[in-house]
Amino acid sequence: MDSIELKKPAPCVVMDRTVSLHEPGITIHPVPVVKATAESFARYGRIVHDFESEQIIIKPWPAQGWRPVEKGTGDQGGTVEDEFIFYRDGDCMVAHNLAVDGHYVTGWFCDPVNARESGEPSISTQVYIREANYHPDGGQLFYPQDGQPFIALLALPGDDVQPEDFVGFYCDGSFGIQIFPDIWHQPVFPLSRKAVYQNRQGRVHACVAVDFVTEFSTYLSLDLKVPA
């Protein structure tokens, strides 16, 4: 992993401080997990069986008033793609998006105030999540390189999103997913300690975020296991 340690990973949103799971007023919301099928996933995105042929959905630039954006313009930024590398470092879930040079801590396998930022990977299956985001400009495709199963944490569009709106979609590694524009998400959570996925997304890469602790005094809890 030394070759990808380009900068210190950090959460996407700016956080004033690390907040304990046990701080007065903090609650933990367990996220339900379902198996991803064409039917269960239909409102969130598409099941993808061929990475190369899947076209990323790009939304045209929004008009500012009653005059429309001219047809054939506003959606020409294109896409970027590269590996998305996931690994546990100490008690942290780390994700490195080479396509946009993003290096993130996406969750913790223990109380964040006590989390080791490096060292032997945690063996816990319970990850605590503080944030999520969506891309208003385009979809995003995650495709496992070696058939590694994963769980995608998602919620339907809307800036008034609540912690209870989130669902975990278990994907068995035999397919990838493209999430639609405006779908709330975190980078996916592999069930293994390390995994590499092919990633393709809009080049603009706008992010709108929610901080569950600041807004709701809540951490999401996601169980990285195969659902019953």
Domain tally, the chain: 1
* Domain assignment of residue 188, yes or no: yes
Per the structure, the complete domain to which residue 160 belongs is given by 2-13+25-59+79-223
**Residue 48, H or E segment:** strand 45-48
How many secondary structure helices (H) and strands (E) does the chain include? Answer: 1, 17
Q: Model confidence at 36, in pLDDT bands (50, 70, 90)?
A: very high
Residue 126 lies in a domain: yes
- Indicate yes or no: pTM above 0.95: no
Round the average pLDDT of the chain to a whole number and report it: 94
* CATH number for 52: 2.60.120.480
Q: How confident is the model at residue 3, as a pLDDT?
A: 42
Each residue's pLDDT tens digit, 207-217: 999 999 999 99
Within a domain: 45: yes
- Within-domain flag for 19: no
The pLDDT tens digits of the residues spanning 73-131 come to 999 889 999 999 999 999 999 999 999 988 999 999 999 999 999 999 999 999 999 99
Closest to 166 measured CA to CA, from 212, 202, 207: 212
How much is the pLDDT for 121?
A: 93
What is the pLDDT at residue 4? 42
Q: Report yes or no: 207 and 11 within 8 Å, Cβ to Cβ.
A: no
